[in-house]
Amino acid sequence: MTDRYAIIGNPIAQAKSPALQMAFAKQCGENLEYGAILGPIGGFVEAVRQFQREGGLGMNITMPFKLEAFALADDLTPRAQAAGAVNMFTLNTDGTILGDNTDGFGITRDITHNLGRSFAGQRVLVLGAGGAVRGALLPFLAEKPAEIFIANRTAAKAVELAEQFGDHAGTTRIGGGGFADIAGRFDIIINGSASSMTGEVPPLPAGVWDADSLAYDMAYKKEPTAFVLAAQAAGVQQTADGLGMVVEQGAECFYLWRGIRPDTAPVIAALRAA
């Protein structure tokens, strides 16, 4: 029998997960099929249950269902609990569902493994205070940076988010505020705001980055995002978009489902070329 997996979302045509997971399966010699399900608005739970009844073993969840997935899961991993959202289900044979969130793992591994940058002892600036940032903070903190500062247009949201993760910070200083509260140079600047979707750049002060910084945009497009272009114009030598993050979070899902970690480098290169 061929094991079945799928991604569910609405819309779903843009999803890269089927191509990713089938590339991983081919590389690792795993017998599986991975499809895409257009989840009905208001019918997410039934669509998941139907796939589970049909023998599905796992699902990825994309917008707008990550919060519904969080509520549906019978059990949650610590990183899913911290993120407050779920992007991955393991569908157990006893009918229960384990919810996880691999988004933060994906960006952390892309930065440390593919880009060769360490968080340890570094000053990290994170732009935005939405779900993408929330999902990344626990994995970031696990890398033991010296400081994480969360900056958001609505300063109170950033402050609240920093306070929520204070118990997980260990020796890392974590704080939040508005863009006007950003002070000094940062080693790693990560854009998790929605600005790249609108072609805007967050209002960053002069001196926030230099040639040795890493500027990383969680978004990705065919052409460089406005954030990446702004960093390059400021002399930043190492910039990246979120394509590697997407591939790495998918590889983590594959590993958790199949017990094999695929080589992501050729998959990232193929998607970049395409």
In the annotated binding site, the residues are 62, 87, 103, 128-132, 152-157, 218, 220, 242, 249
φ, ψ of residue 202 to 5 degrees: the values are -55, 145
Cα separation, 34 vs 20, whole angstroms:
9
State the Cα–Cα distance between residues 177 and 264, nearest whole angstrom. Answer: 35
Give catalytic residue positions: 66
Pairwise CA distance, residues 260 & 256, whole Å: 8
d(CA 109, CA 125): 17
Within 10 angstroms of residue 166's Cβ, the number of other Cβ atoms is: 12
**Residues 172, 188 contacting (CB under 8 angstroms):** no
Q: Which residues are annotated as a binding site for NADP(+)?
A: 128-132, 152-157, 218, 242
Whether the Cβ atoms of residue 239 and residue 215 lie closer than 8 Å to each other: yes
